[in-house]
Chains A and B, each alone.
Chain A
């Protein structure tokens, strides 16, 4: 079955620290990959997405993610986090032959000033 794994459940950082959140998917074919963010009390919103082409994609608020096909990974990065990045981050995958969207378990990020 298709699945998405996020290994970091809870990450605590100080402002200006660098961030990397892991995401792996299990699907043999071609997939579209997404990172969504949920700020406290708000609905989920798209951070960035990968469909094809350049494996390094840039999203909003200085986030980027790298697709490594050989590792089935799509890790999220940010060079310097801010207190306002405190949120829950979800990786998601959608195979090319369907619009079904599967999410990982999420990573809760806390950034302290």
Chain B
């Protein structure tokens, strides 16, 4: 059974703290994604990684950074958490497409982060 695991389901952090959200996949996927999900705004892509140490900004990268040192792990970092980063964070992974055909993304359960 395919699995994308996010390290925490719920997190509460204080404003200004450095926050690490961890995601691990066991499918040997090349691609990994971080999204935030907010009511009425859907899923917005924060960062995308298509290989180890390779990353690409999504639509809302401000205030976030990422790290992909190993293929199976993709970390999202909030350098200095702010209250407007309170949200549900979703990690996903997919295998690299070929011939123009993209593949299905598999999602983790999400981390609900509250910044107080």
Of all chain A residues, the one with the shortest Cβ separation from B90 is A44
**Interface positions of B (Cβ within 8 A of A):** 30-31, 33, 35, 40-45, 48, 50, 56, 58-59, 90, 92, 94, 96-97, 100-105, 107-110
B94 touches A101 (CB 8 A): yes
B100 touches A99 (CB 8 A): no
A96 touches B45 (CB 8 A): no
- 4 A-B pairs with the lowest CB-CB distances in the bound complex, closest first: A105-B42, A96-B100, A103-B43, A94-B102
B42 touches A106 (CB 8 A): yes
A105 touches B40 (CB 8 A): yes
Q: Does A56 contact B (CB under 8 A)?
A: no
User: Which secondary structure dominates where chain A touches chain B?
Assistant: loop
Residues of chain B lying within 8 A (CB to CB) of residue A44: 43, 90, 92, 107
Q: Does A9 contact B (CB under 8 A)?
A: yes
A60 → B minimal CB distance (Å): 12
B40, B90, B102: the one contacting A99 at CB < 8 Å is B102
